[in-house]
Each structure stands twice: as C-alpha cells, then as structure tokens.
A = this chain, B = another copy of it.
Amino acid sequence: MARELAVTERTRVHRHPERAQTGRAALHAVLDEGLIAHVGFVRDGAPVVLPVAYGRDADTVYLHGSTGSRAFRALAGGAPLSLAVTLLDGLVLARSATHSSMNYRSAVVFGRGEEVTGEGAKRDALRVVTEHLAPGRWAEVRPVTRKELAGVLVLAVALDEASVKVRTGPPHDDPEDLGLPIWSGVLPLSLATARPVPDPTLAPGVPVPHSVSTWVAGPGAPLGGGGR
C-alpha cells in the first residue's frame, strides 16, 4: 500500500486545501486516536449516520454490530459507506464570528464494508476493536465464545480512499481587525479521564488492570490527567 493517499474526486479537499494531509500515516494517526466513528450509508434513498466503535489494523478498519442490526445487515451487503472520525482540539475564537473556527483532525473514508467470516478472522477483528479502545484489554478479558462470535457481524472496510484534514494554530483575523480590543485565541479541548468506577458486582481486591491504568497517556501517566 502506497504511503501516500491517492487523491480522488471525492477526497480532494476543495475548501481550505492547506488543511489537507495526504500521508497514510496521518490517516492512521487520526483513526487510532479516535474512539467513535460516524458511519453513513444510504437506506431507501436517504442517508443514515450512526456512531459506531471501530478498530484499525494496517489498512483495514473493523466495525462490529449485532447480526440483528438492520444497519449492519445493510452494510454487510456491500452498500457504499462513508466513515468519519473527528478529533476536536480546540475552539478558535477570532475577533469576528466569521473567522472563528475549530482546531481539529478529521478523517473521512469512502468504501464498502465486507463481511468478515470464519471464527478466526472474526475473533481477530474483535481483538482489534477491543485493543483499540483499551490496549492490553484483550488479554485480560474472558475469551470470546463460539456462540458469541456467531451473534456478531463484523465488517472490514479497506482504507483505499480517504481524506484527512487538520487545522491547528491561532485564528486568522482580517488585518484591519487586529487592532480591535477583542480577545482572540484558542481554547484547547481534549478528552479527559476520571477515576475508574468499578462494577458494583466486582469482588473486593480485584485491582485496576494495566489496560485501564495506562489508558490516559501510556505507562506512568496519572489517571484523571489530560487527554489521550
């Protein structure tokens, strides 16, 4: 797979082309840091957007849902889809409303879902999604059963066509506005964790595992600190 994303008619960034990133590494970085994807598909001629969990392995994104889900059954049938992951980094507050904006990193993928079949492949895909949300968790949890696998519908989406946009930095006010006595700048935003809440049924003495205690920013980072 080429290290650069191919630019197609629908991935070309027309608005603010300076925000476009064409490296596959940039795509991977956004997908790996995000926790929720918004998946769009067409049902009865109209678009539907739903939030889903996901995980990435190399150049494939995996989604999983119930075999009873209308949305997942439609997607498993090969319907075209679009999948967006957006990381919000801050509010950009310019001296004018028009130049106010957000700092963000976003990825938009175009493709189709291909149903993953076979117990081994489905198990691998669930591992990818589980590890994406909490690295190390797969080795901690009770192994997935054959019955559970049978009830899960897993989709693979190839990262063949995608665009990445990134905005960083301060506002860009009009030159004639720079002298106005109006505060402008960025209010940084990030995802933060709080102290883990044990399940009420948890037996006393079961420690917070590695996957949770290191979630924030890698080993050594304090829980309740900054974003991931």
Tell me the A residues contacting B by CB distance below 8 Å.
10, 14-15, 35-36, 38-51, 53, 65-66, 68-70, 80-84, 86, 88, 90-91, 93-98, 100, 102, 104, 106, 108, 110, 126-127, 130, 133-134, 137-138, 140-142, 144, 148, 152, 170-171, 173, 177-203, 206-209, 211-212, 215, 226-227
Contact = CB atoms under 8 A, between A and B. Distances in A.
A106 B211 CA distance: 26
A197 B190 CA distance: 14
Q: Which of A45, A51, A181 has the most CB of B within 10 A?
A: A51
Contacts of A126: 97-98
B48 A42 contact: no
B181 A187 contact: no
A47 B82 contact: yes
A60 B137 CA distance: 42
Given A185-B197, A190-B191, A84 B49 contact: yes
B179 A203 contact: yes
B82 A40 contact: yes
A206 B183 contact: yes
A94 B48 contact: no
A98 B148 contact: yes
Given A187-B197, A189-B193, 5 more contacts: A42-B42, A49-B82, A141-B182, A186-B197, A187-B215
A194 B89 CA distance: 10
Among A35, A197, A199, A203, find the residue whose CB has the most chain B CB atoms closer than 10 A. Answer: A199
Contact of A134 (B66, B93, B170): B93
B141 A96 contact: yes
A83 B49 contact: yes
A100 B10 contact: no
Given A202-B184, A207-B183, A42 B47 contact: yes
A90 B51 CA distance: 14
Given A68-B15, A97-B130, A171-B199, A182 B49 contact: no
Highest count of chain B CB atoms <10 Å: which of A138, A148, A195: A148
